[in-house]
Amino acid sequence: MKTVYSEAHRGHSGHGELVAGAIVPGFEKPERAEIIRARIDEVDLGPVVPPAAQTLATAHKLHDAAYLAFLPQVWALWRAEGRHGPAMPFAWPVPGLRRDVEPERIDARLGFHSFDGGASFVAGTWTAIRAAHDVALTAADLVADGAPAAFALGRPPGHHAGARFMGGYCYINNAALAAERLRERGAARVAVLDIDYHHGNGTQDIFYARDDVVFVSIHGDPKTEFPFFLGHADETGTGAGAGFTRNLPLPAGTGWEAWADALDAACDEVARHRPDALVVSLGVDTFAGDPISRFRLDSAHFPRIGRRLARLGLPTVFVMEGGYAVEAIGVNAVGVLAGFEE
């Protein structure tokens, strides 16, 4: 399996996030990708290739134009205000406030285009976002060109980024990009299966009214788990997309047996729609040692996940999402890929 990887992800470093009443160093950090990259070499998973340069044309099909135009401006606008630390929002237009007029000041614009304080900016953030974007599209092209599978090892991750919002460490939705590129390359229908601990609220937002991309997610129950405000079982799509979203929320503390049952149900749902290709939002924060998640999977379980996904028999793009137990992230993420390759 080829892995697509760019060292430009390192530009997104030294950022912070607002969590539990404090601004702390970001849990999503460069070591995550670097340890996975080293593990790929260690187990000889396959070649690691750089991404091909891509335009934003596919992203413009998924994300609001004003939102995409804002992202590369953030750092310069922040510095123009005389700030030196990470750019981070502190005010949000909740229901009842206006969202039809974009404000001018950077503080307000950050809140206008986000849902939390977890997607901050430093000088190299936009470069890393663009690299992750190119990584995802290049991996999708490899599969469209006939590879049975490819791994998009990019960061920052993407599945919390919606059509017009960032949050949860995510800015452009890399898994959605991969799905859309597969559609552009001839797949009549694509399934996105999100196995991250946290619901892929951005991916659901983007595809909720579409029937050409199926979205299935296993995640912590949003009544108690971030991102809280999407991912309930009764959310099944709207309009043409009615019946093409399936959420499988599970309680905190869920272990392997119940999680594996949910994976079987998710795979059955994917198969029911008979897609031509699969995109896996590969989060390994379901691991018992993850510092910000509360499922109880062990490292030995991740190859079993890969083997179950392989039984679907679909051309597959794996897109890296979460996983914050940094010491174990290489073993866990590559475990899924190696299990799939078996």
Q: Name the residues annotated as catalytic.
A: 160
Query: Helices marked H in the chain — which ranges?
Result: 30-43, 57-62, 65-70, 74-80, 106-112, 125-144, 174-184, 201-207, 256-272, 302-310, 326-341
Beta bridge partners of 17: 24
Residue located via tokens 């049952």: 261
Residues 6+ apart with CB under 8 A from 74: 87, 106, 110, 121, 125, 126
Centre a 10 Å sphere on the Cβ of residue 319 and count the other Cβ atoms it contains: 32
| H or E element, residue 281 | strand 277-282
Among residues 14, 7, 17, the alpha carbon closest in space to that of 291 is found at: 17
8-state DSSP, 51: P
Q: How many degrees, rounded to 5, is the angle at CA 299 between CA 258 and CA 197?
A: 50
Q: How many degrees, rounded to 5, is the angle at CA 4 between CA 3 and CA 8?
A: 135
